[in-house]
Structure 1
Amino acid sequence: MIKEQNNYNAGNIKILEGLEAVRKRPSMYIGNVDVEGLHHLVYEVVDNSIDEAMAGYCDTVNVTIHTNNSISVEDNGRGIPVGMHEKENVPAAEVVLTKLHAGGKFDNDSYKVSGGLHGVGISVVNALSSLLELEIYCEGKIYYQTFEKGKKTRELEIIGSTEKRGTKIHFFPDTGIMNSDDFNYDILVRRLRELAFLNKGVRIIIEDERSDQKDEFFYEGGLSSFVEYLNRRHTPLHDPIFIQGERNDVQIEVAIQYNDTFKEKMLSFANNINTIEGGFHLVGFKAALTRSLNQYASSDNLPKNLQAKIGGDDVREGLTAIVSVRIKEPQFEGQTKTKLGNSDVKGLVESLMNEKLGIFLEENPGVAKKIIAKAVDAARARDAARRARDLARSKGALIDSTLPGKLAECQYSDPAAREIFLVEGDSAGGSAKQGRDRRFQAILPLKGKILNVEKARFDKILRSDEIKNIITALGTGVGREEYDISKIRYHKVVIMTDADVDGSHIRTLLLTFFYRQMKEVIENGYLYIAQPPLFKVGKGKNEIYIKDEAGFSEHILKRICSQKNIKNSKGDKILSDNELFLFMGNLFEYIDIVSKLERRGIQPELLELIIKEGVDDKQFLQDHEKMEKLKHTLSSRGCEVSELSWNEERGVYEMKVLPCEISDKEEMIKQDTSHKFQTIEIGRGFIHSPDFQKCLVLGKKIYEFDYPPFSVFSPDKEDDAVMIDDKKSLFSFLIEEGKKGINIQRYKGLGEMNPDQLWETTMNPEKRIMLRVKIEDAEEADEIFTLLMGDVVEPRREFIQNNALEVNTLDI
């Protein structure tokens, strides 16, 4: 129905001044206000420094994450101009910081090429910062200006002299708009390393003051070093092939290296921006690679058995390649810049590749022969896979008319309403078949562990019965020639395995299969992981199901906190009910983190002593009097402490502390703890680590009641109190008391559950919990699958050794 009254008039038209539009609709400029958008702010600032480097005026960029979650980016470029802007009548630096689409990148004089072509970068960062400080070093002077939420709070003025040159931006993300200001060091490292590879000779340094992590990236080899880095988990067949040149003012760089795997990995960049969706530069590269290798393969340089017609897929098997172009006016699809749309780049890349790769192959027949031999092997394997697929099809193994015999199909025909459970084992499959809603839920039991597709060629994958069953049930086909995600028969594909090591392994094998062979199932949001409960707790009709160990502890604590009271030795306060539950919840988390740190060699007594002394931030570490007092306290408690030393670079006092003495020498010998604990360096990264900071927050809540011994009693029976010596024993005692009088069943496998239990806990859409599988970082995901599921043993052993101490519960 159309409304009769029209209240829409000129007064409804709002004009957002300055950077208000950015604050109103931030996602239009940085993608979102979550993790990706937060880190995008840093990229925008760094990209300005890299543009200076590409123009030849900068060779060092420093990125610092401060303890207060602010970021500094400093370069040694020319510095943002400080002269007055003719039109705006304010300094040019202020224009750059406060006006959208303002900068030196819209002509071809200041910058021949740049990543931040849209000119919204630094002004958007300013708009989304609660505070931004600008320092410019030029002409021997330091210029300084501040902004809050995009508006200047101080005029640009000279505050000192310097011999440096360049620009420093220090900004605090506005948490009123951004969901978080917790920068992830690893996410930033990946992008900065990438930029260092793409800009050889540029030194990029990142430091995290919160954890004392520091990395420096400097690669003279450029893209050649990049492909070597990407192939570090594999065995390369030859040294990197590097091709560079210029065509019609477009600078082109390509690096190629084949390895012994069956996968291709191609990255493409335009003006340092990762064009994830490719574009015409990648199309040109692929065409030239196929043509050049075919041309060489058909020549008289090779023996007859290698003279074969090879396709594009064949020449890219085992290929790691990077294509990078620098272009004056790139046409990106959208502000996120994920696809290059300049059609003329295709021909330019193709002609350069045809010319230079052809010359390389002629001059390096040994390398050429290895590459051609791998491509010919791939062509033969593809032919074998085609025959295997044809054979399977003739037997009815890959077509819908003959679905796997084990598949319990559902009744609905609309894929959007259908879901299929891939269930570990026939026993669990039987329970699932009986417990399901057969209208929309299909069940496919899997026998044992499926093939690890990370180590297998495509023809071998097709010979695996379990994988054939999955392919057939889903209906998408498989392989480049046949795979069609639009034909998928279920929009929920649910992996349902046991909660033990074998179940985790099967789940990982299935995830590997989907990631390598059917990635679109994940990208479209069709893949899920079921969350069957680990416990059944209670009595009779009051039984409940609990998903994991943390939920189990929480349930037990809630139960016992309603039955018991606690009093400490001071006796001035009694904890009960909700107050006791909050205390025990904090204590549970505290004990968990302390145990993790203890496994890393941090002595719990020393950790607690440092927290109680108030070591909480950089200001404490800069206070000589406080640090001397801390040193005296630690010494008096039996710790061996070094002299205080001033760290000029970090601006803090430091000292080394050997663990406290253990008063019970016999206990120390019995437990063999004499070598267990390591030296702590106060003033360095440990104090700023996330685990220490969590302990700090929790400790402040716990210590105000931490005066043992504790008396535990029922509200009406204080005379029957049980005395507990310390807080860790208190937690253990309450957990054991909470378990009394109830039945606790721990499920090791799905097969232990009755059909109605499996439906109620894991399959009922109204009650179940499922995890949707997403690819948040494709490069990281690719590396993890290669590391954990690939052929090379040593990196996997190293990964297990480095992460073994992080495991809290290993259910074997």
Structure 2
Amino acid sequence: MTIKGKPAAEGRDYEARHLLVLEGLEAVRKRPAMYIGSTDTRGLMHCMWEIIDNCVDEALGGFGDRITVALNADGSIAVDDVARGIPVDIEPRTGLSGVEVVFTKLHAGGKFGAGSYNATGGLHGVGASVVNALSSRLDVEVDRNGATWAMSFRRGVPGSFAGDGPDAPFTPGAALTKVGRVARGRTGTRVRYWPDRQIFLPDAQLSWSSLVARARQTSFLVPGLELALTDQRASEHVTEVFKHDGGISEFCDFLAGDAPVTDVLRLQGTDTFTETVPMLDADGAMTPTDVDRTLEVDIALRWGAGYDSTVQSFVNIIATPKGGTHVQGFERGTVRAFAKALEGTRLLKAGDEIVKDDILEGMTGVVTVRLAEPQFEGQTKEVLGTPPVTRLVAKVVERELGEFLTSNRAAQRPQARAVMEKVVSASRTRVAARAHKENQRRKNALESSSLPAKLADCRSTDNERSELFIVEGDSAMGTAKLARNSEFQALLPIRGKILNVQRASVGDMLKNAECASIIQVVGAGSGRTFELEQARYGKVIFMADADSDGAHIRTLLATLFFKYMRPLVEAGRVFTAVPPLHRFELSSPRKGQDKYLYTYSEAEYQRKLAELTKRGVSFKEPQRYKGLGEMDADQLKETTMDPRHRTLRRITVEEGESLELAMATFEKLMGNDVAPRKEFIVAGAYALDAERIDA
């Protein structure tokens, strides 16, 4: 048989014998990303969170107040608690011990019924068993009933090891064994496992900083719980211990980095809802059943003088970085509360409207809810999906926040007034920014000829090739015009130092002529409205003098782009030009030898000077460039603008820890708080070589 002239494909048979049935934990090893998100560092850390969160759930229920975590030198992770301990008796339906059920059976555990846990983050019953399946070895010890019980697994299979580590000889089939005696009242669980390197990528590594951040966060969310961490992988062991009794109010203060406008507010409430869930009846059939649920809402928030917002959300102390129904309810409740409170004031003019972003400006918030059996979207639990939570959280927030905003108490009234003024100001700035954005799009700019007159644009419309040089000063601009390739290189001069946008409001930034011109010429908007694909140029290049003023100008430009056009920086499309510092003019260059030699640093200058002197090459007195304007067009083109010869330094930042470090650095060096900056400058002064100062 042929189809359209092609022979029929072989192996078209599809019978029951072709079906693959994965037993037990085989499915986890076959598709690990389905359970832990990925097999890189993120997935490796998620496995550790699963074991730690089981211990935290015990503490959350009032059992145990200390958890220890150790990253061992042999690559294993050990997690211990002093809670109730995993059950060691026989589970009647499987005939297995409770320990073996927890570590080998998917969707099994003490968090499905109503008797062991009230509110917990572990709902799917796959955490411990998934970690076991993805471990080359896992050892568990349980103190319970006056004895210590132990069991080991190899890639999810119970058995015994004849030695230490995952490579020791293994015999499958061993069950839970009593290995010692302890005091009758002593209980707890100790888990030690080695991640299976057959599963995880070679560069997947445990992150100590992420572990520390998560442990600190948990200590805030479970007041009184002590978490002791140890990193034994390096020659010098590192230990961190966290314990906080102040709860999420203290957490909110910890997260806030700006001067307060209000004290930390605590919005709390409890409500109930009915949820229809399928439940097994006596005949083993799934029957829809109405279940009454209790929702506990506890929110801490404050407003500060800054403009960035930080809102972290949790469900049963499990972080939900992508939000969910509880965050939607929080945002809805805040908008309603402010809308009602502002109705009776003269702060809001007719036609003005308050939206979520206006309220979030300068806010630091910690949103926590507790409920039995929350619905998460996926095993990684990054999004809460329980629908009624939105309505109930909004109701609590609207009531509690509304009481604060309309309070007549002497301590609260000025704070409420200040935060409402801040929100109204943000609303007006947003409206101005939106109008500004609409004039920045490249099509509108070209059609309306609204681009700044001082822009020397290029002819090319190819974003992959075009370049925008932001040039310091009019004198350098004149030389750059002669040096550029007008086909793909555009020039925008700026007059001196632009506004420090780290310390200014969005409104002040938009009023600044230089900042407005740069944003307008780039053509992609600013802040939350920035759209990378709308940028008019493939590269943006800062071209300033190679002196301290030039360095300051480059820093101010970097601050502007990082704060208001960050996607352009993250995409690696922002650069600084590297003009030369010195020029050597050879008196009698040989054939094929350049007449002019350039150096770009003091060290390079000294090396070149020594080299020419040693070789006996005669040259005129070296020239020290004090600015771009001292170069003629040919020199500027050859050294700084021609893509064939120039050097560019890319300014970029990556997601994660480097992004957080960059944000902290900009705030320290360019922000409102003077003390850390003074301390940084004074500390750096001692490292300065006084002989290098050109005075």
TM-score, length basis structure 1: 0.64
1:558-616 deviation line (CA, Å, top 9, x unaligned) = xxxxxxxxxxxxxxxxxxxxxxxxxxxxxxxxxxxxxxxxxxxxxxxxxxxxxxxxxxx
In the alignment, is the contact (CA less than 8 A) between 2:142 and 2:190 conserved in 1?
yes
Q: Which of 292, 299, 308 lines up with 1:263 in the alignment?
A: 308
Equivalent residue, structure 1, for 2:654: 774
Equivalent residue, structure 2, for 1:29: 35
Equivalent residue, structure 2, for 1:321: 365
Instruction: Compute the displacement of 1:520 (Å).
Output: 4.8
Equivalent residue, structure 2, for 1:192: 215
In the alignment, is the contact (CA less than 8 A) between 2:25 and 2:106 conserved in 1?
yes
CA–CA separation in structure 1 for the residues paired with 2:602 and 2:130: 44
The answer on 1:73 being equivalent to 2:117 is no
Instruction: Compute the displacement of 1:429 (Å).
Output: 7.0
Instruction: Compute the displacement of 1:385 (Å).
Output: 7.0
- The more displaced of 204-213 and 530-539 is 530-539
CA–CA separation in structure 2 for the residues paired with 1:344 and 1:547: 64
CA–CA separation in structure 2 for the residues paired with 1:340 and 1:746: 66
Instruction: Compute the displacement of 1:226 (Å).
Output: 0.8
Equivalent residue, structure 2, for 1:225: 250
Compared with structure 1, are the counterparts of its residues 737 and 522 closer, same or farther at alpha carbon in structure 2 (3 Å cutoff)?
A: closer
In the alignment, is the contact (CA less than 8 A) between 1:532 and 1:761 conserved in 2?
no
Compared with structure 1, are the counterparts of its residues 280 and 394 closer, same or farther at alpha carbon in structure 2 (3 Å cutoff)?
A: closer
Instruction: Compute the displacement of 1:242 (Å).
Output: 0.9
1:297-325 deviation line (CA, Å, top 9, x unaligned) = 444xx7x6799977234443322212112
In the alignment, is the contact (CA less than 8 A) between 1:533 and 1:761 conserved in 2?
no
Compared with structure 1, are the counterparts of its residues 796 and 541 closer, same or farther at alpha carbon in structure 2 (3 Å cutoff)?
A: same
Letter of the structure 2 residue corresponding to residue 171 of structure 1: Y
Compared with structure 1, are the counterparts of its residues 807 and 466 closer, same or farther at alpha carbon in structure 2 (3 Å cutoff)?
A: same
Matched ranges for 1:327-726 at <5 A: 327-361=371-405, 362=407, 364-380=409-425, 382-383=427-428, 386=431, 399-400=445-446, 401-413=449-461, 417=464, 420-421=467-468, 423=470, 425=472, 442=490, 444=492, 446-478=494-526, 483=529, 485=531, 488-490=534-536, 492-496=538-542, 506=553, 508-521=555-568, 525=571, 527-529=573-575
Equivalent residue, structure 1, for 2:180: 160
SS at structure 2 position matched to 1:77: coil
Q: RMSD in angstroms over aligned alpha carbons?
A: 4.9
The answer on 1:212 being equivalent to 2:237 is yes
Instruction: Compute the displacement of 1:217 (Å).
Output: 1.8
- Structure 1 or 2: more helix by fraction: 1
SS at structure 2 position matched to 1:462: helix
- The more displaced of 212-221 and 251-260 is 212-221
In the alignment, is the contact (CA less than 8 A) between 1:297 and 1:372 conserved in 2?
no
The answer on 1:143 being equivalent to 2:149 is yes
Compared with structure 1, are the counterparts of its residues 363 and 382 closer, same or farther at alpha carbon in structure 2 (3 Å cutoff)?
A: closer
1:511-550 deviation line (CA, Å, top 9, x unaligned) = 5434433455467x36444686999999968999999999
CA–CA separation in structure 2 for the residues paired with 1:402 and 1:496: 23
In the alignment, is the contact (CA less than 8 A) between 1:105 and 1:114 conserved in 2?
yes
In the alignment, is the contact (CA less than 8 A) between 1:258 and 1:371 conserved in 2?
no
Compared with structure 1, are the counterparts of its residues 392 and 127 closer, same or farther at alpha carbon in structure 2 (3 Å cutoff)?
A: closer
In the alignment, is the contact (CA less than 8 A) between 1:137 and 1:166 conserved in 2?
yes
CA–CA separation in structure 2 for the residues paired with 1:90 and 1:506: 70
Instruction: Compute the displacement of 1:760 (Å).
Output: 6.4
Compared with structure 1, are the counterparts of its residues 130 and 506 closer, same or farther at alpha carbon in structure 2 (3 Å cutoff)?
A: farther
Letter of the structure 2 residue corresponding to residue 467 of structure 1: C
CA–CA separation in structure 2 for the residues paired with 1:121 and 1:549: 58
The answer on 1:236 being equivalent to 2:260 is yes
Q: Which of 281, 303, 323 lines up with 1:278 in the alignment?
A: 323
SS at structure 2 position matched to 1:97: helix
In the alignment, is the contact (CA less than 8 A) between 2:261 and 2:419 conserved in 1?
no
Letter of the structure 1 residue corresponding to residue 88 of structure 2: V
CA–CA separation in structure 1 for the residues paired with 2:554 and 2:18: 55
CA–CA separation in structure 1 for the residues paired with 2:508 and 2:371: 43
Q: Which of 190, 195, 201 lines up with 1:173 in the alignment?
A: 195
Letter of the structure 1 residue corresponding to residue 382 of structure 2: T
CA–CA separation in structure 1 for the residues paired with 2:109 and 2:418: 51
1:653-710 deviation line (CA, Å, top 9, x unaligned) = xxxxxxxxxxxxxxxxxxxxxxxxxxxxxxxxxxxxxxxxxxxxxxxxxxxxxxxxxx
Instruction: Compute the displacement of 1:26 (Å).
Output: 3.9
In the alignment, is the contact (CA less than 8 A) between 1:423 and 1:429 conserved in 2?
no
Compared with structure 1, are the counterparts of its residues 335 and 3 closer, same or farther at alpha carbon in structure 2 (3 Å cutoff)?
A: farther
In the alignment, is the contact (CA less than 8 A) between 1:227 and 1:321 conserved in 2?
yes
Q: Which of 7, 28, 39 lines up with 2:11 in the alignment?
A: 7
Instruction: Compute the displacement of 1:250 (Å).
Output: 1.6
In the alignment, is the contact (CA less than 8 A) between 1:545 and 1:761 conserved in 2?
no
In the alignment, is the contact (CA less than 8 A) between 1:435 and 1:759 conserved in 2?
yes
Instruction: Compute the displacement of 1:125 (Å).
Output: 2.8
Instruction: Compute the displacement of 1:444 (Å).
Output: 4.4
1:346-399 deviation line (CA, Å, top 9, x unaligned) = 210111122223334536443233232343255246536756886998999994
Q: Which of 246, 257, 262 lines up with 2:270 in the alignment?
A: 246
Instruction: Compute the displacement of 1:204 (Å).
Output: 1.7
The answer on 1:105 being equivalent to 2:95 is no
SS at structure 2 position matched to 1:253: strand
Equivalent residue, structure 1, for 2:122: 116
In the alignment, is the contact (CA less than 8 A) between 1:396 and 1:402 conserved in 2?
no
SS at structure 1 position matched to 2:90: coil
Letter of the structure 1 residue corresponding to residue 71 of structure 2: I
Instruction: Compute the displacement of 1:254 (Å).
Output: 0.6
Instruction: Compute the displacement of 1:255 (Å).
Output: 0.5
CA–CA separation in structure 1 for the residues paired with 2:451 and 2:601: 36
In the alignment, is the contact (CA less than 8 A) between 1:208 and 1:214 conserved in 2?
yes
SS at structure 2 position matched to 1:454: coil
Compared with structure 1, are the counterparts of its residues 122 and 761 closer, same or farther at alpha carbon in structure 2 (3 Å cutoff)?
A: farther
CA–CA separation in structure 1 for the residues paired with 2:195 and 2:611: 47
Residue ranges of structure 2 left out of the alignment (5+ in a row)? 161-173, 273-293, 585-589
SS at structure 1 position matched to 2:393: helix
CA–CA separation in structure 1 for the residues paired with 2:480 and 2:248: 52
Instruction: Compute the displacement of 1:748 (Å).
Output: 9.4
In the alignment, is the contact (CA less than 8 A) between 2:572 and 2:650 conserved in 1?
no
Instruction: Compute the displacement of 1:457 (Å).
Output: 1.0
Instruction: Compute the displacement of 1:487 (Å).
Output: 6.0
- The more displaced of 126-135 and 488-497 is 488-497
Equivalent residue, structure 2, for 1:287: 332
Letter of the structure 1 residue corresponding to residue 182 of structure 2: T
SS at structure 2 position matched to 1:455: coil
CA–CA separation in structure 2 for the residues paired with 1:750 and 1:68: 57
SS at structure 2 position matched to 1:50: helix
Higher relative contact order (CA 8 A, sep 6+): 1
Matched ranges for 1:779-798 at <5 A: 782-798=663-679
Residue ranges of structure 1 left out of the alignment (5+ in a row)? 557-735
- The more displaced of 313-322 and 248-257 is 313-322
1:21-61 deviation line (CA, Å, top 9, x unaligned) = 44454444334444333333322221221222222223221
